Structure 1
């Protein structure tokens, strides 16, 4: 199964008192590997650096005797040199932007003796003429050696480590740095938090702890946002705070003082998107051809091709459901999974329902089938999974599982369903009673009566020891081309009662305002009229197709001034007397 989940981490790249020009920790070999084979290996058995850096030599890379005991020891792969004239050579390090007087070479070394010059270290600018540089071991076993002079400024710096003895030497964490004793600023691991969590495009704040201030004034250049917090020019230790960074964008901060330069790089925090209240209704009212995961109601949880929003509604419609005409989701094969968060539920029964239309089962050859919709307790713990399995190109079975274990645990429908026909499905996840230690149960209803009482389930599934403790999101899932058919989904509802997910109106917590009428649509004169049966005061919020809030106001005499909106498509949320509706608006 393909899945590459994103780890949203913050990384900072800088060094105390210096700037790293070249660094190599030799990765993680799968076993003893010659340098020539290691450079052509597959991850993780590869060097950190690629072209133009070139590695040669008669030494090898090993996973045994990993580095430890000095600051910055990376462990894992290291170079073993254990024979006379055995060596490792590193070519094409570019140090030309720095002064020779400030260049330093450091490396972790595991040596069996404190005798100097048993391991020769040499540098060259042409790969032919070599100059020895000296270091003094600070002890046996793993230590950190630093060479503070003799490293040339060059576009083609080469470094060679050669043994003059049969004794064993190990090398790790080789670095070339530009050292400046006036660059005293030390940056620690930053944190990032959302400044707000709304349906609009929010901002986040990055906090970067530091020490080593009061060595002079610094210049701050952020990629976005406003720099604040403590000032290293006057405060010796504190926090640099950058606020107002747009949600979903990366962040870098460059800090300079003379020749000193530090770069802090931050990946955004988890998206600043809100969890919806239950009952939840999703008509997929987004711009045609847009990515579902880019909306403020959904988040992409891995990588691959996007789930896309198609225009119009899913036809043929399911009798009595009256799907909206604002859009529907389409996907197939391998790709991104989209998650939508809602209020966490830990007891009783929680349902999801939608209409679906599988275009074809051609190419879906996995005999175990695959699941495409599920409740989640986060982005990787699933329950109430809904499956499909191919009978032939035009026919399929539906399956259900209380948790995602193996296909052997999936319960399948006896009836088969025809590709090209719209099917209405309802899944209910019932938490077990903790007082009796009963197991959780899931039920599937296929094509139940709209606005009717809850009937007997089409199929039921339960296992021992596979229960969720909470449910807080719904996921549309693309697994692989052999498991996920080409399909469409519309009219998603999530609720804690049967009626909330089988209502024949346009929604349960939206679109329930009696007599709602919004006109003209498209609008060309800057005035929008919103009428209802009650004609009470209404709160109106308008979002663009990216989910950014562009207007928030209340009605006056059932009118809204939309003259400030540019030509395009918008989503209008209307609230009156505790009821909410959504409509698509076109500005001409």
Structure 2
């Protein structure tokens, strides 16, 4: 029995009891896109299938409300049919002529906004005719308003070289469709693969591995070939064990896989989305965005993508502010797309503060009808927003706003221009249940007693804060934004000590992470400096005094360290990642 496998943390699984004839998961749109434009899009923001498959219709493709809960959900884009009766999605160019109609099975993910209104699914073998014939198929309607996997039993979809499918919203309820699949169903193929579960083998700032478990039933006889794209297969043998678990070990985090299982003429396919084994960042937390230019922020070990769409990317260069010298690079985003979440030590009492530099470089994408959006905020450990920073467009300028849960009217009166570099400090006091926002504080005198620019006393206490989020809302609501120098700590004094880490003029430390054993440290003076490196339990693991830029740290193990640099009586500290 051939054994090779690989899978990941957020599990998505397709199961087929026979040969797949056609499969479409709608790709991953960057925003609401008409079907006509999506056809000519660039992968992954396009349909999976090209010619001879042809897509048409009056619906559109969206990344919102991604498919979930059913076996095989892809959680990317989906076709959206608005609440206008007659909206439809059509697929032409399907060829099922090599299969018996008694064996052809249709499945698709389906969500309706009202169970009193259900989707109409039809097929045609002459859709290109002047007067085509469409025949409705029967299936079990959704009994709830969440995603479900619908199965159209074999015997309804015909064997045809000119097959078309049409999905129509017949009344006034919004509907969504995803993961359409035609399969040559074989009743003798009895193996059923359930959704996988996964567990990280370790959680570090390096690339970790994880183990996936795929439960199955319907085995007990035959010979099975299990071929994934990575990893090692273990666990139970479906050929001899009727019900058990296929265990996949040693899977690198961040890698998605497809697994093909074959037994005679029976073929099964399972896909699993990439797992992320990323650590929780300790406080004080410093993020200088010292990643490769043009890389995706969500691919770093401190951040995780929480939805789909285009990435928040790393931009070269820094934002600067009086009293704060930047290092590393910065983060750039605009329009609709992925939100990025970074976790930190869960905090339930006292105070928590976050600060970051922001430059709204272009407001032109924000329309007059949708001028308000939140783009950053503190969350709890479950990624639920608890304190949000807004941007509200006003003519050619904008204002900042603060709120906890709903669209804010709590706006700063100061109008700002595109291109202004602004320091934003967002804090929460657990004792007084108060959110505070300081905008452009003077760092030399800034303290918890400094009156905030905006404040909000909450009616319901925040139970915990354990994350920070950068958010891309929509193409007409999110302007072009650069964010830099994120800092998080439990006190203003601590926050300032982190913010003023670079008190040494012109201090730069790069690359970070270190991958080749050489750490470069330069300053404006490039004078002799003492460099001491500590591990995360406070043990000194490296020390040198030098005026050279390049420092050999090849003797350090992969992990997270604190670097202390002293030059001309001034000291700066920074976190260092060694890979």
Normalising by structure 2, report the TM-score.
Answer: 0.61
Alignment of 1:81-480 (within 5 A): 94=95, 104=103, 177-179=184-186, 181=188, 183-269=189-275, 271-314=276-319, 317-324=320-327, 326-366=328-368, 369-377=372-380, 381-393=384-396, 395-401=397-403, 403-408=404-409, 410=410, 412-432=411-431, 439-450=433-444, 452-462=446-456, 465=459, 467-480=461-474
CA 1:576/1:387 → structure 2, altered by over 3 Å: closer, same or farther? closer
Does the 8 A contact of 2:312 with 2:339 survive in 1?
yes
| Deviation for aligned residue 1:251 | 1.7
State the distance in 2 between where 1:407 and 1:96 align: 58
Does the 8 A contact of 1:279 with 1:500 survive in 2?
yes
State the distance in 2 between where 1:524 and 1:21 align: 45
Normalising by structure 1, report the TM-score.
Answer: 0.61
State the distance in 2 between where 1:226 and 1:321 align: 49
Number of corresponding residues: 439
| Deviation for aligned residue 1:350 | 0.9
| Deviation for aligned residue 1:386 | 1.6
Alpha carbon RMSD of aligned pairs, Å?
Answer: 5.2
State the distance in 1 between where 2:153 and 2:559 align: 62
Secondary structure, aligned partner of 1:321: coil
CA deviations 1:425-455 (Å, max 9, x no partner) are 211112256xxxxx54334353232364333
Does the 8 A contact of 1:329 with 1:488 survive in 2?
yes
Tell me what 2:46 maps to: none
CA 1:220/1:576 → structure 2, altered by over 3 Å: closer, same or farther? farther
Secondary structure, aligned partner of 1:384: strand
CA deviations 1:132-163 (Å, max 9, x no partner) are xxxxxxxxxxxx98779xx998756899xxxx
Structure number with greater Rg is: 1
Does the 8 A contact of 1:451 with 1:502 survive in 2?
no
| Deviation for aligned residue 1:290 | 1.8
| Deviation for aligned residue 1:272 | 1.8
Q: Which moved more, 1:195-204 or 1:225-234?
A: 195-204
Secondary structure, aligned partner of 2:298: helix
Secondary structure, aligned partner of 1:12: coil
Tell me what 1:74 maps to: none
CA 1:484/1:258 → structure 2, altered by over 3 Å: closer, same or farther? closer
Does the 8 A contact of 1:368 with 1:407 survive in 2?
no
Secondary structure, aligned partner of 1:386: strand
Does the 8 A contact of 1:220 with 1:254 survive in 2?
yes
| Deviation for aligned residue 1:309 | 1.8
CA 1:272/1:97 → structure 2, altered by over 3 Å: closer, same or farther? farther
State the distance in 2 between where 1:460 and 1:53 align: 55
CA 1:432/1:481 → structure 2, altered by over 3 Å: closer, same or farther? farther
Tell me what 1:490 maps to: 484
Does the 8 A contact of 2:203 with 2:278 survive in 1?
yes
Does the 8 A contact of 1:571 with 1:584 survive in 2?
yes
CA 1:352/1:555 → structure 2, altered by over 3 Å: closer, same or farther? closer
Structure of higher RCO (CA pairs closer than 8 Å, 6+ residues apart): 2
Secondary structure, aligned partner of 2:494: helix
Secondary structure, aligned partner of 1:320: coil
CA deviations 1:192-246 (Å, max 9, x no partner) are 3333222122223221112233312211111111111111223232111112222
| Deviation for aligned residue 1:21 | 5.1
